Amino acid sequence: MEPTHAALREAFRARGRQLWLVGGALRDRLLGIASHDIDYATDALPDEVEEIARGLGARVTTVGKRFGTIGVLLEGEWVEITTFRGDSYAPGSRWPDVTFGRSIEEDLARRDFTITAFAENAHTGEWLDLFGGEADLRAGIIRAVGEPAARFREDPLRILRGVRFVSQLGFRLDPATAAGMRETAHLIAALSQERITAELDKLLQGRAPAAGLEALRETGALPFALPELAGMPGCEQNRFHRFDVWGHTLATVDAIAVDPENRRIRRWAALLHDLGKPAVRHTKPNGEWGFYRHEVVGAELAEALLERLRFGRADAHVVVLLVRRHMERPDPADRRAVRRFMAKLGGHWRDLLALKRADNASHTYDDTAYHDALEAACLRAEQEEAEAIRAESPLSGDDLVRMFDRPPGPWIGVIKRQLGAMVLDGELAPGDRAAAERIARRLMGRG
């Protein structure tokens, strides 16, 4: 259910101000997906918008006010109300110099893609689609508003937003828009790293990440957005592989199983797992390409790359660990090897197994049986560990020494093992010290 914002609409209407629903919310409605991205555009200036918002008794934020945006908390969600824009961008500058426009038409014309450039009048319901955005949305096309190269020159971040939409929406680039991106891709270098990284992060976590990455390559943006990956396309492999390193990487990114909570780490690990291959490639004695120790070199390169992206230390650490360990292949029948493997992964063995399965998806051999066996062995080890903790005596050696006022000796081990066995058998609750003391006394009484 879309929110109504009746009080907001009424307050704008009462002052004779326009109010248009714009951007993501309309896009999501046409796509039939829930939206938490509600933006309005208005002819009221930010001071007046703030006054109206405060008049509603709602919580208000003014952090975006110098860009023309006032945030209002309505019906439990933050809503952004932005004064019509008529931006003039200084080419290559980080932020637009904000100028306010006079009409919704002017505002829509400065938006980047047709699928973000339609509006619905909140008072009358009038639908305003000046650039064919609805048709493009239904056809799944990302098309620049206006002359593509000129728009990308104004703000090169739009190139990355476009390829990000390819991944997020599963759309494709209109050919003229892609050509405009190719012409201007070098300008990405002038953008701040934070803005680039935010777009790459969204691209990688979209529903069609391989398509987004391929769009990044096709538009020539890859060497500017992720120069560290530029050696992957065309890096041929050997008979174990169906694709070159780039094709294999894309297949792995698309194949890796993800949940919302591990999506970021797993997708980035899939992207970077073979980063070391172009650097270490060498000819083996049998004449084939070899990639000896590519996971070690790859982990070092991945660490440097993620630091450059300002990725966040905790997530970067896990991604690098997964890259470093993705060639590990412990014998599932060897309990100690399985435990060593799990210890090295510090709680992330499931992520590594997901990476190994995805990696295998574009190999020429099927390793599913091995991965199933390794997963079963890891689960068994985890269960044994849990049981070992549960089998612990509720009383420690120190407890027993104090209780019986006797010097430590082999008797402690005897009592603790007995208590532990009873916990494992369910005869004694894991933390029940009182019962454990009674049992200990009885055991000691028997000598």
Q: Which residues bind Mg ion (CB under 5 A)?
A: 24, 37
Q: Which does 116 bind (CB under 5 to 8 A by kind): Mg ion, ligand ATP, none?
A: ligand ATP
| HSE-up (13 A, CA, CB side) for residue 269 | 33
Residue number, 27 or 326, with CB nearest to ligand ATP: 27
Q: Which does 271 bind (CB under 5 to 8 A by kind): ligand ATP, Mg ion, none?
A: none
Q: Which does 158 bind (CB under 5 to 8 A by kind): ligand ATP, Mg ion, none?
A: ligand ATP
Angle CA 187–190–194, to nearest 5: 120
Minimum Å gap between C-beta 210 and ligand ATP is 20
Residue number, 145 or 271, with CB nearest to Mg ion: 145
How distant, in Å, are the alpha carbons of 19, 21, 317, 330, 364 from that of 42?
5, 9, 45, 62, 57
Chain-centre distance for alpha carbon 158: 20
Q: Which does 199 bind (CB under 5 to 8 A by kind): Mg ion, ligand ATP, none?
A: none
How distant, in Å, are the alpha carbons of 272, 318, 325 from that of 321?
11, 5, 6
Minimum Å gap between C-beta 7 and ligand ATP is 23
Minimum Å gap between C-beta 15 and ligand ATP is 24
Minimum Å gap between C-beta 39 and Mg ion is 6
Angle CA 258–170–194, to nearest 5: 70
Residue number, 111 or 143, with CB nearest to ligand ATP: 111
Minimum Å gap between C-beta 180 and ligand ATP is 14
Q: Which does 111 bind (CB under 5 to 8 A by kind): Mg ion, ligand ATP, none?
A: ligand ATP
Continuous segment of H or E residues that includes residue 8: helix 6-14
Strands (E), 220-310: 282-283, 289-290
Minimum Å gap between C-beta 111 and ligand ATP is 4
Residue number, 69 or 184, with CB nearest to Mg ion: 69
- CB contact at 8 A, 180 and 151: yes
Q: Which does 399 bind (CB under 5 to 8 A by kind): Mg ion, ligand ATP, none?
A: none
Torsions phi, psi of 171, nearest 5? -95, 175
Residue number, 63 or 314, with CB nearest to ligand ATP: 63
Continuous segment of H or E residues that includes residue 29: helix 24-31
- CB contact at 8 A, 283 and 273: no
Residue number, 157 or 235, with CB nearest to ligand ATP: 157
Q: Collect all residues with Cβ–Cβ distance below 8 Å to 278 and sequence separation of at least 6.
A: 231, 232, 235, 245
Q: Which does 400 bind (CB under 5 to 8 A by kind): ligand ATP, Mg ion, none?
A: none
Would you state the torsion angle of the CA atoms of residues 31, 32, 38, 44, taken in this order, to the nearest 10 degrees? 70
DSSP state of 68: T
Q: Which does 217 bind (CB under 5 to 8 A by kind): Mg ion, ligand ATP, none?
A: none
Residue number, 86 or 233, with CB nearest to ligand ATP: 86
Minimum Å gap between C-beta 23 and ligand ATP is 3
Residue number, 37 or 367, with CB nearest to Mg ion: 37
Residues that bind ligand ATP (CB under 6 A): 23-24, 37, 39, 111-112, 116-117, 155, 157-158
